[in-house]
Amino acid sequence: MRARRAGAWLKRAVVMSIAVLMPLGVTVAGGGATASAAFNPSGFDFWVDSDMGPIKSRIFRAADGNTNRVVYALDGMRARNDLSGWEIDTEVARELTKWNINVVMPVGGMSSFYADWNAPSTILGIGGGSSGSASASSSGSGAMQMLAGGPGKSTRYTWESFLTNNLRWALRDRLGFNPNRNGVFGLSMGGSAALTLAAYHPDQFGYAASYSGYLNVSAPGMREALRVAMIDAGGYNIDSMAPPWGPQWLRMDPFVFAPRLKANNTRLWVSAGSGLPAAQDGLSFGTLNAMGLEALALANTRAFQVRMATLGANNVTYDFPAVGVHNWRYWETEVYRMIPDLSAHIG
């Protein structure tokens, strides 16, 4: 009965979100109200070669200088190629390092879901030029980038391999970072990816957190909702990421691989807001988009919660604030809530 109710709720949320977001031009994760942090001079650039070319991460060292406690912070769909949204729009790195945790912020990966894609992003076999950039504004202009080159188009995205192989061992060999029992957290796209990484690489990630993540991507309507979002966020084609409903797509669905997270006994922190704005959010185009996106994330997250409950999983902390939409202010606050639990379960 609970599963049927969750399924009906998810269907209604998907329909509502598509109805609201498609005519407006969706503003995907990374948009909305932001903090005023920007560049943090305490971090340093860390370049690592990969099949995608050289990839930059930003590293923030633990206050006590340890190399044992490490967490990865994953960005949202509008991930930029210069700095992570976590650095641009929040102060989480400063707080985490005070807790003697080393922070790794991979830079880039717009619309990638931090996955190994099936092929470079193309539309009807056209695209993937050698020039151009994967950038998009919040006005829905990402569709103009569909035939451009750039990351994930001129080359195939291989983010999972990068994070679990190239970057992991470079951090160990060059900085002495512990490659095991790390934490990983992310918002929206990055939240889904954090759970995926923990499910399939439990030796590397013993802790994972999802904020406003899409945790039931195989539910009716979800693939098309994400299709719209990925077109807007850089002009990416979801069919290049994974064919519909095949093993590669199902492998990316936290609802499907939930038994792995239980079997691994991965410590999880999972949250989503209500979709209701606070007074400081104001009533604007951006707030309406953020409300719709958060309603969709909440329905996905509740469905995942029901799934884990049916498995008898007791390794998850859930947090569902009564107020919260899809923007950085709420994700930053959620990190602060999570830090004591993270600190107790990594390294």
Residue 149: its pLDDT value, please? 83
Q: How many Cα atoms within 13 Å fall on the side-chain side of residue 157? A: 27
For residues 281 and 338, which has the higher predicted lDDT (pLDDT)? 338
- For residue 172, give both structure tokens: 């160990």
Catalytic-residue membership of 326: yes
Q: What is the arithmetic mean of pLDDT over 330-344?
A: 97
Residue 188 a catalytic site member? yes
Question: How many domains are contained in the chain?
Answer: 1
CB 171 within 8 A of CB 104: yes
| 95 vs 327 pLDDT, higher one | 95
CATH code of the domain in which 172 resides: 3.40.50.1820
What range defines the domain where residue 23 resides?
2-344
What is the percent of the chain with per-residue pLDDT over 70, rounded to a whole number? 85
Cβ-in-10-Å burial (0-12, 13-18, 19+) of 302 comes to buried
- In this structure, of 15-24, 68-77, 219-228, the range with the lowest mean pLDDT score is 15-24
Contact at 8 Å (CB) between 216 and 305?
A: no
Q: Which of 138, 192, 271, 294 is catalytic?
A: 294
- Burial degree of 125 (CB within 10 A; 0-12, 13-18, 19+): exposed
What is the pTM assigned to this prediction?
0.88
pLDDT tens-digit series, residues 6-47: 444 444 444 444 433 433 334 444 443 344 568 899 999 999
DSSP 8-state class, residue 168: H
Q: Could you say which of 210, 326, 332, 334 is catalytic?
A: 326
Residue 147: pLDDT band with limits 50, 70, 90: confident
Q: Which of 188, 210, 212, 271 is catalytic?
A: 188
d(CA 231, CA 172): 36
pLDDT bucket at 188, cuts 50 / 70 / 90: very high
Residue 277 and residue 291 in contact, taking contact as beta carbons nearer than 8 Å: yes
